[in-house]
Copies of this chain bind each other. A is one copy, B any other.
Amino acid sequence: MAITGTSEKSTGRIRLGMVGGGQGAFIGAVHRLAARMDDHYEFVAGALSADADRAIASGRELGLSDERIYSDYKVMAKSEAKRPDGIEAVSIVTPNHMHFPVAKAFIEAGIHVICDKPLSLSLKEAKQLEALLQKNPKVVFALTHNYSGYPMIRHAQAMVARGDLGEIRIVQGEYPQDWLTEALEKTGQKQAGWRTDPKRSGAGGSVGDIGTHTYQLATFVSGLKLEELACELTSFVKGRVLDDNVQTMLRFKGGARGAIWASQVAVGHENGLKLRVYGTKGGIEWLQADPNYLWFTPYGQEKRLITRAGAGAGAEAARMTRVPSGHPEGYLEGFANIYSEVAQAIKAARSGKKAPKGVQFPGIADGVAGMAFIEACVKSSKANAKWVKV
């Protein structure tokens, strides 16, 4: 009956900036709220839009002082790096094609980066960022694969790691949605517009947007490394260039098998991300829409319902939880957990330390792996779904 998790710390807040996320955007507001939830950050600067008027209007509405409202992210990176009270970290919440140049600019300015996923437009760009970060080891880099911030996902990961499931045999991931069942991108809807546009989204449609989330979560929980995949991408909606449905068979190192199905045209699903992992000794199931529940069956016993903050949820989940069991936490809390984990890394970095033990957040390695996944899927699909090494 207490907030046991990511305790609020109003003192020593991290000065945060943002690129993207102006009026009308979606994910920028989510990032700001996630940053605010546990009070580890204060939002002080932004290039919220490349359009100067919109940047100003958006920044003022959010309480930024005029001198720290930018319309050019390069100017922002340089100016903030010079200020004694300059931002320590930046959130990048632009469409995909801008992730790379913006991240590059801030890393080079020595500013920590919290970047929306997928990392970039191509695996090549991803590897460039990886190299750049190796040259700038003091910069903390996080990628908001937010689903890995859910408490029960942390618990699932811990269960697998300590052997509750035995040797993992099967990993089934799926992420069905239905919001692109019709040609929404032709109606002027902004989200649909850029997410179906290869120039702004990259070579993957549903595979980049939600397939990568599923893949990241599957490997995060199972601890497995993907070896090869066979994939078929389909565009069901007439005139749509990028895939809106992806079927993938997976072979993991060590012999485990699996599949990922992601779709934007599966009528009846909102954000139906589901992960199931089966081993020699047990199986688990988790559904993002009901994230406070983790189903666990030890082989030969009854199925159990492990609840967030309830009996059976261990320390790894407790770190990530705020309210008592039976009081649901949701998407924003999971997202905020990523921000709070990153905050611990950034605060440690202030004094040249590593993040405390147990702190986890998706980073550059996840970003590179995600881009490799997208490229392998596209390559396999073009070759009639032949197996492609990742």
Q: Judge if A186 is at the interface, Cβ distance under 8 Å.
A: no
Q: Which residues of B contact A88 (CB under 8 A)?
A: none
Interface pair A291/B328, CB less than 8 Å apart? yes
Report chain B residues within 8 Å CB of A105.
none
Task: State whether A289 touches B326 (Cβ < 8 A).
Answer: yes
A332 touches B333 (CB 8 A): yes
Taken together as a complex, chains A and B put the C-alpha atoms of A62 and B13 apart, in Å, by: 11
Cβ of A280 within 8 Å of any chain B Cβ, yes or no, is yes
Q: How far is the CB of A351 from chain B (nearest CB, A)?
A: 19
| Choice from B165, B267, B283, B305 contacting A305 with Cβ under 8 Å | B305
Q: Which residues of B contact A11 (CB under 8 A)?
A: 60-63
Partner of A268, one of B8, B232, B283, B324: B283
CB distance from A321 to the nearest CB of B (A): 11
Tell me the complex Cα distance, A336–B263, Å: 33
Instruction: Pick the interface stretch among A30-38, A71-79, A112-120, A215-223.
Output: A30-38
A304, A305, A326 interface centre (most CB from chain B within 10 Å): A326
Q: Among the listed stretches A89-97, A129-137, A169-177, A362-370, which one makes contact with chain B, having 4 or more residues with CB under 8 Å of it?
A: A169-177
How often does this chain occur in the complex, in copies?
4
Cβ of A344 < 8 Å from any Cβ of B? Answer: no
| B-contact 0/1 string along A117-131, CB 8 Å cutoff | 000000000000000
Please tell me if the beta carbons of B271 and A324 are within 8 angstroms of each other in the complex: yes
In the bound complex, CA of A320 to CA of B249 (Å): 37
Q: Mostly helix, strand, loop or mixed at chain A's interface?
A: loop
Asked if residues A169 and B265 are in contact (CB atoms below 8 Å), the reply is yes
> Which residues of A approach B to under 8 Å, CB–CB?
1-3, 8-11, 13, 24-26, 29-30, 32-33, 36-39, 43, 60-64, 165, 169-170, 172, 177-179, 181-182, 189, 191, 230, 232, 234, 236, 245, 247, 249, 251, 257-259, 261, 263, 265-272, 276, 278-285, 288-292, 295-307, 310-312, 322-333, 384-387
Given contacts A270-B325, A302-B305, A332-B332, 14 further A-B contacts (CB under 8 A): A2-B26, A2-B29, A37-B332, A172-B261, A259-B259, A266-B283, A270-B324, A272-B326, A288-B328, A302-B310, A305-B305, A327-B330, A327-B331, A329-B332
